[in-house]
């Protein structure tokens, strides 16, 4: 922790409400944060929409300072203070960013208009989402766990992920922040004894690959022993077109995920 | 009889208990480093910049049996970019936050540990890293993140001298491994991300007195000053954060420079912005410039030309080659600085023409825009700080390469002293192919890629070649890999449990060859069983 300056010791943002600081913070945000959180802080493919007043990991400015400075363990959010990887931000710059984020927050974003209760029925029922996705400890393991997704992704991003899941698989970040590399590529291999295995990549390096198949069985394979190895960024998840899941039904599913994710 | 044999074998071990002969590391020893292949006396292994070990005990026939010999844990988080030195059985290296240490090269047991006391408000650009030491006489030399240059006693790690090169509070720092030449310690500064005015310094190795400074951005009245608009030269960047090479025949130091500041916005600094993104030929005694070659003029993509330049003699010509971050592999005549060839060795879109000298020229529409614009290579470049290697046996130049495109967007940011100053933001392009990472073997005579090995994801590891017909690399997933230098075939790998950001090197103790590399937060040493 960079506890050297008066800035860091503050529990409150010393630059709160300062328009000049917010402007400086906007530049800092473009440079340091927009990569994941999008221009205007409205969320990108990787990071949450920060214009929402409700945030999963932070409430107070002091908490936000800690998260920006030190990162969030177990997530792709890296430490951004001078103690972290990459170009570190000074305490003052972090407070400027917080001032900027507070200035663009909206109390209620583009909330889903759907029926969360019906969305939950669909999720665990006819839409088959829970065969592969888990929410609050219930569901499958093949796809990403979705408890927090409604609090961290925009409505548009969630809709796109369902309609066109291959459009944006979870890209690995640049190496410095790539703490966990799962990108959910589809892997198809033929083992030495001629067995075909198709599943989702849990992890992979030059010499080994760890796969989960649709029955949630984990395969630990050495590439050198395989007859064939194919990797695709076509998601194993089917694209839910409007025939499969109507716009109204999808809106209900998104409403369910949002209600859970923003609890 | 039995007793006699035991005594005899015991006596064979006598040498192991004798005090180590700690001979001084003279300039002549570094100049003739090929005569003592058991040692690694300078960042790139020799003054030519080749990162080639003449050792051949570990070779393409036995590399498959390599085993880990010891591991030294730093006990700190963050990236390790260090390239160890080995001199007469002792390994010297650096780690995060300006740690330096000396280890028994056979066992990894520490002899001394040192850590420079850093202020809390240093401004490292890209992690609290250090790429290694220089050694000369009875001292090792380290540049620090608060812009000091310090000399440590090789036997104790005690500070012999400590000089302040520049003010860290406006963004100066050192991450580079210095280069010891004659009685000088040559070092280039970091801080382009903070709008510093770059320089290369030379310090008297004995006293720490500064002997010369070459500003990589010329001041008023100096040639090249006219290549900067208005006062932009004062914050023009052009840092010099990777280790150069030395040519004894012409007494010249070849040192590469980084991008102009702000990195992704050319507005306000119209002109070529000399001597950013250049290779400089400096008189070693005076720091006077003999020639320069600018790879990327008026750069707007963060394409530092700081890659280690490698001296190659071929066909009666004295050449210097660099695999540049901008995606081209350049070969220059190192006597004149004249360009001989420039060949793309990765995915590029920024240039499709060359000027009369054969230098690739930027397309007008490659400039970043406020809304963002996709250009290849991306901001990390086709290569970056990772040390390349050149093998005189295969006559191939090996480089860690990446195919990645980014969306470059400007951020009109005012300069404020001590604050990050890039004028830019860049994003990986979702429309582009996934990033791909390679080890490529380039024929410098033709620019042709003789073979390539594709990594699972791009790596930031440096490279080593050895007379055993091997190339060593590390990967982002934590593997250390030995490949056949002629064919690129993988011969061996070991999972080290942490990503690699450092280059490998080789040494020998008691006639046994070892290969070392830093990964995760540890230094690993491998050898034959």
Q: Is the pLDDT of residue B9 over 60?
A: no
Mutate to test the interface with B, among A15, A44, A82 (most CBs of B within 10 A): A82
Domain extent at residue A83: 6-104
Is residue A219 a part of any domain in this protein?
A: yes
A252 in the same domain as A123: yes
Distance from CA of A188 to the nearest CA of B (A): 16
Average pLDDT for residues B133-152, to the nearest whole number?
Answer: 98
A91 in the same domain as A131: no
Q: CATH code at A254?
A: 1.10.760.10
Task: State residue B21's pLDDT score.
Answer: 53
Q: Is the pLDDT of residue A112 over 70?
A: no
ipTM over 0.90: no
**pLDDT averaged over chain B?**
93
When pLDDT is cut at 50, 70 and 90, the band that residue A45 belongs to is low
CATH of B27-527, one of 3.90.226.10, 2.140.10.10, 3.30.830.10, 2.70.70.10: 2.140.10.10
* Beta-carbon separation of A175 and B460 below 8 A: yes
Minimal Cα distance from A232: which residue of B?
Answer: B434
Which residues of B participate in catalysis according to the annotation?
Answer: 302
Minimal Cα distance from A2: which residue of B?
Answer: B120
**pLDDT averaged over chain A?**
83
Task: State residue A209's pLDDT score.
Answer: 94
* Beta-carbon separation of A82 and B123 below 8 A: yes
Distance from CA of A176 to the nearest CA of B (A): 8
Is residue A174 a part of any domain in this protein?
A: no
* Beta-carbon separation of A89 and B120 below 8 A: no
User: Looking at A73, A104, A135, which one is the last position of a domain?
Assistant: A104
* Beta-carbon separation of A83 and B477 below 8 A: no
Residue B249: which of B18, B504, B45, B31 has the closest Cα?
Answer: B31
Give the lowest-confidence range in A107-116, A211-220, B60-69: A107-116
* Beta-carbon separation of B493 and A31 below 8 A: no
The H or E element that residue B136 is part of is strand B134-136
What does the domain layout of chain B look like in residue ranges?
27-527
Q: Is the pLDDT of residue B160 over 70?
A: yes
How large is the angle between the packed helices A247-261 and A155-163, nearest 10 degrees? Answer: 130
Work out the widest C-alpha separation in chain A, in whole angstroms: 67
The H or E element that residue A149 is part of is helix A149-152
Task: State residue A51's pLDDT score.
Answer: 84
Distance from CA of B424 to the nearest CA of A (A): 6
Distance from CA of A138 to the nearest CA of B (A): 31
Cα-flanking dihedrals φ and ψ of residue B150, to 5°? Answer: -125, 150
Q: Is the pLDDT of residue B47 over 80?
A: yes
**Which chain A positions have a beta carbon within 8 Å of B78's beta carbon?**
85
* Beta-carbon separation of A3 and B79 below 8 A: no
Is residue A177 a part of any domain in this protein?
A: no
Measure the CA–CA gap between A102 and A115, rounded to whole angstroms: 30
Which alpha helices (H) appear in B126-193, and where do they start and end? Answer: none
Task: State residue A167's pLDDT score.
Answer: 75
Secondary structure class of B48 (helix, strand, coil): coil
Task: State residue B127's pLDDT score.
Answer: 84
A68 in the same domain as A28: yes
Q: Is the pLDDT of residue B329 over 50?
A: yes
A17 in the same domain as A80: yes
Minimal Cα distance from B454: which residue of A?
Answer: A206
Closest CB to B477 among A87, A205, A233: A205
Task: State residue A27's pLDDT score.
Answer: 81
Measure the CA–CA gap between B238 and B219, rounded to whole angstroms: 13
When pLDDT is cut at 50, 70 and 90, the band that residue B12 belongs to is very low
The H or E element that residue B28 is part of is helix B27-31
Q: Is the pLDDT of residue B16 over 80?
A: no
Task: State residue B177's pLDDT score.
Answer: 98
B 486-505: CB under 8 A from A: 490, 493, 495, 499
When pLDDT is cut at 50, 70 and 90, the band that residue B3 belongs to is very low
Any A CB within 8 A of B474 CB = no
> Pairing relation of β-strands A218-222 and A208-213?
antiparallel
The H or E element that residue A200 is part of is strand A196-204
Distance from CA of B133 to the nearest CA of A (A): 22
| B80-132 tens-digit pLDDT | 999 999 999 999 999 999 999 999 999 999 999 999 999 988 888 888 999 99
Is residue A172 a part of any domain in this protein?
A: no
Task: State residue A83's pLDDT score.
Answer: 58
A92 in the same domain as A126: no
**Which chain B positions have a beta carbon within 8 Å of A34's beta carbon?**
425, 427
Average pLDDT for residues B319-324, to the nearest whole number?
Answer: 98
Q: Is the pLDDT of residue B182 over 60?
A: yes
Task: State residue A111's pLDDT score.
Answer: 60
Percent share of chain B, pLDDT over 90? 83
Task: State residue B428's pLDDT score.
Answer: 62
Comparing B293 with A171, the larger pLDDT belongs to B293
Closest CB to A207 among B380, B428, B493: B493
Measure the CA–CA gap between B295 and B301, rounded to whole angstroms: 13
Comparing A134 with A73, the larger pLDDT belongs to A134
A122 in the same domain as A72: no
Minimal Cα distance from A180: which residue of B?
Answer: B477
Measure the CA–CA gap between B245 and B181, rounded to whole angstroms: 9
Task: State residue A175's pLDDT score.
Answer: 42
Task: State residue A213's pLDDT score.
Answer: 96
Task: State residue A72's pLDDT score.
Answer: 81
A141 in the same domain as A43: no
The total number of residues shown for chain A amounts to 263
Any A CB within 8 A of B128 CB = yes
A97 in the same domain as A20: yes
Task: State residue B271's pLDDT score.
Answer: 97
- DSSP letters, B179-236, are EEETTEEEEE-B-GGGT-B-EEEEEETTT--EEEEEESS--TTSTTGGGS-TTGGGG-
Residue B345: which of B362, B327, B332 has the closest Cα?
Answer: B327
Q: Is the pLDDT of residue A5 over 60?
A: no
Give the lowest-confidence range in A163-177, B94-108, B217-231, B444-458: A163-177
Q: Which residues lie below 8 Å from residue A85, measured CB to CB, with a gap of 6+?
A: A78, A79, A176, A177, B78, B79, B126, B127
| B277-319 tens-digit pLDDT | 999 999 999 999 999 999 999 999 999 999 999 999 998 999 9
Q: Which residues lie below 8 Å from residue A50, measured CB to CB, with a gap of 6+?
A: A33, A37, A41, A42, A43, A101, A104, A105
* Beta-carbon separation of A31 and B420 below 8 A: yes
Closest CB to B425 among A5, A30, A168: A30
Q: Percent helix, strand and coil across chain B, each rounded to 5?
A: 10, 40, 50
How many separate domains does chain A show?
Answer: 3
Measure the CA–CA gap between B307 and B330, rounded to whole angstroms: 11
Average pLDDT for residues B353-378, to the nearest whole number?
Answer: 92
Distance from CA of B126 to the nearest CA of A (A): 4
* Beta-carbon separation of A181 and B477 below 8 A: yes
Torsion of CA B75, B80, B85, B89, to 10 degrees: 30
Task: State residue B371's pLDDT score.
Answer: 80
Closest CB to A87 among B125, B476, B478: B125
CA-to-CA dists, residue B138 to A157, B112, B210, B329, B445, angstroms: 61, 14, 19, 38, 40
When pLDDT is cut at 50, 70 and 90, the band that residue B146 belongs to is very high
Cβ(B333)–Cβ(B318) below 8 Å: yes
Give the lowest-confidence range in B47-51, B319-323, B497-501, B513-517: B497-501
Give the lowest-confidence range in A125-134, B75-84, B508-517: B75-84
* Beta-carbon separation of B123 and A171 below 8 A: no
How large is the angle between the packed helices A61-70 and A91-104, nearest 10 degrees? Answer: 120
Comparing B112 with B16, the larger pLDDT belongs to B112
Average pLDDT for residues B236-257, to the nearest whole number?
Answer: 98
A244 in the same domain as A142: yes
Average pLDDT for residues B132-143, to the nearest whole number?
Answer: 98
A127 in the same domain as A100: no
A12 in the same domain as A96: yes
Q: Is the pLDDT of residue A4 over 80?
A: no
When pLDDT is cut at 50, 70 and 90, the band that residue A1 belongs to is very low
**Helices then strands, each counted (H, E), chain B:** 3, 38
Q: Residue A70's CB: how many other CB atoms inside 10 A?
A: 17
B 306-335: CB under 8 A from A: none
User: Looking at A104, A135, A150, which one is the last position of a domain?
Assistant: A104
A202 in the same domain as A159: no
Average pLDDT for residues B431-445, to the nearest whole number?
Answer: 87
Cα-flanking dihedrals φ and ψ of residue B110, to 5°? Answer: -70, 145
Residue A37: which of A55, A63, A15, A61 has the closest Cα?
Answer: A55
Average pLDDT for residues B467-484, to the nearest whole number?
Answer: 97
For residue B163, cis peptide bond before it (omega within 30 degrees of 0): no
Cβ(B320)–Cβ(B254) below 8 Å: yes
Any B CB within 8 A of A174 CB = yes
pTM: 0.89
In the A/B pair of chains, how many CB contacts fall below 8 A?
98
Any B CB within 8 A of A89 CB = yes
Q: Is the pLDDT of residue A84 over 70?
A: no
Is residue A136 a part of any domain in this protein?
A: yes
Q: Is the pLDDT of residue B4 over 50?
A: no
Task: State residue B451's pLDDT score.
Answer: 98
- DSSP letters, A54-71, are --SS--SHHHHHHHHHH-
Task: State residue A90's pLDDT score.
Answer: 81
- DSSP letters, B238-306, are ----S--EEETTTTEEEEE---BSSTT--TT--S--TTTTEEEEEETTT--EEEEEESSTT--S-----
């Amino acid at each position: 922790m960079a506890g050297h300056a008066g800035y860091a010791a503050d529990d409150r943002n010393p630059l709160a409400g300062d328009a000049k600081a917010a402007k400086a913070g906007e530049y800092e945000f473009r440079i340091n944060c927009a990569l994941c959180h999008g221009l205007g802080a409205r969320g990108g493919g990787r990071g949450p929409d920060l214009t929402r007043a409700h945030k999963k990991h932070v409430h107070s400015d002091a908490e936000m300072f800690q998260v920006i400075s030190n990162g969030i363990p177990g997530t792709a959010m890296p430490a951004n203070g001078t103690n972290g990887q990459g170009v570190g931000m000074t305490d003052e710059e972090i407070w400027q960013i917080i001032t900027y984020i507070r200035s663009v927050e909206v109390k209620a974003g583009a909330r889903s208009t759907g029926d969360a209760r019906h969305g939950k029925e669909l999720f665990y029922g006819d839409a088959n989402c829970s065969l592969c996705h888990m929410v609050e400890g219930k569901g499958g393991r093949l796809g990403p766990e979705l408890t927090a997704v409604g609090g961290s992704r925009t409505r548009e991003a969630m809709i796109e992920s369902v309609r066109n899941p291959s459009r944006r698989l979870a890209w690995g970040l640049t190496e410095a922040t790539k703490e966990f590399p799962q990108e959910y590529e589809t892997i198809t291999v033929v083992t030495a004894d001629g067995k075909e295995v198709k599943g989702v990549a849990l992890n992979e390096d030059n010499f080994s690959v760890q796969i989960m198949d649709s029955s949630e069985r984990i395969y630990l394979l050495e590439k050198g022993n395989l007859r064939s190895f194919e990797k695709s960024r076509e998601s194993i998840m089917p694209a839910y077109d409007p025939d499969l899941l109507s716009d109204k039904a999808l809106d209900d599913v998104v409403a369910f995920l949002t209600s859970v994710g923003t609890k | 009889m039995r007793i006699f044999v035991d005594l005899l074998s015991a006596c064979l071990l006598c040498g192991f208990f004798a005090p180590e002969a700690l001979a001084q590391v003279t300039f002549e020893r570094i100049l003739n480093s090929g005569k003592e292949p058991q040692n690694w006396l300078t960042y790139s292994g020799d003054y030519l910049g080749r990162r080639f070990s003449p050792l051949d005990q570990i070779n393409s026939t036995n590399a498959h049996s390599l085993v880990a010999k010891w591991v030294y844990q730093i006990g700190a988080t963050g990236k390790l970019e260090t390239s160890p030195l080995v001199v007469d059985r002792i390994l010297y290296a650096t780690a995060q936050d300006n740690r330096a240490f000396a280890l028994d090269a056979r066992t990894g047991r520490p002899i001394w540990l040192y850590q420079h006391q850093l202020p809390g408000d240093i401004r490292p650009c890209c992690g609290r890293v250090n790429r290694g030491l220089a050694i000369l006489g009875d001292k090792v030399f380290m540049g620090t993140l608060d812009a000091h240059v310090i000399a440590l006693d090789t036997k104790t790690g005690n500070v012999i001298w400590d000089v302040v090169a520049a003010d860290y509070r406006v963004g100066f720092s050192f991450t580079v491994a210095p280069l010891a030449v004659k009685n000088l310690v040559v070092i280039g500064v970091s801080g382009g991300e903070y709008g510093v005015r770059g320089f290369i310094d030379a310090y008297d190795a004995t006293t720490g007195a500064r002997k010369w400074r070459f500003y990589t951005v010329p001041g008023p009245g100096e040639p090249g000053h006219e290549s900067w608009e208005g006062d932009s030269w004062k914050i023009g960047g052009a840092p010099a954060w990777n280790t150069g090479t030395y040519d004894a025949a012409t007494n010249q130091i070849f040192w590469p420079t980084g991008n102009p500041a702000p990195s992704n916005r050319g507005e306000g600094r119209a002109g070529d912005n000399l001597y950013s993104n250049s290779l400089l030929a400096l008189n070693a005694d005076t720091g006077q410039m003999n020639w320069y070659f600018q790879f990327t003029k008026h750069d707007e993509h963060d394409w530092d030309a700081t890659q280690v330049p490698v001296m190659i003699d071929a066909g009666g010509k004295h050449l210097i080659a660099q695999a540049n971050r901008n995606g081209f592999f350049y070969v220059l005549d190192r006597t004149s600085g004249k360009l001989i060839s420039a060949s793309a060795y990765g995915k590029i879109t920024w240039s499709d023409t060359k000027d009369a000298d054969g230098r690739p020229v930027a397309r007008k529409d490659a400039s970043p825009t406020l809304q963002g614009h996709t250009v290849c290579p991306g901001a990390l470049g086709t290569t970056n700080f990772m040390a390349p290697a050149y093998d005189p046996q295969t006559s191939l130049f090996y480089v860690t390469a990446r195919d990645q495109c980014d969306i470059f967007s400007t951020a009109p940011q005012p300069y404020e002293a001590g604050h990050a100053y890039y004028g830019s933001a860049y994003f990986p392009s979702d429309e582009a192919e996934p990033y791909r990472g390679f080890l490529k073997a380039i024929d410098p005579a033709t620019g042709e890629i003789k073979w390539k090995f594709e990594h699972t994801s791009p790596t930031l590891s440096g490279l080593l070649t050895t007379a055993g017909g091997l190339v060593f690399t590390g990967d982002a997933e934590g593997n250390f890999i030995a490949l056949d230098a002629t064919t690129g075939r993988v011969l061996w790998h070991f999972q080290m449990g942490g990503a690699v950001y450092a280059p490998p090197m080789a040494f020998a103790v008691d006639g046994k060859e070892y290969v070392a590399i830093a990964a995760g937060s540890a230094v690993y040493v491998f050898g034959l069983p």
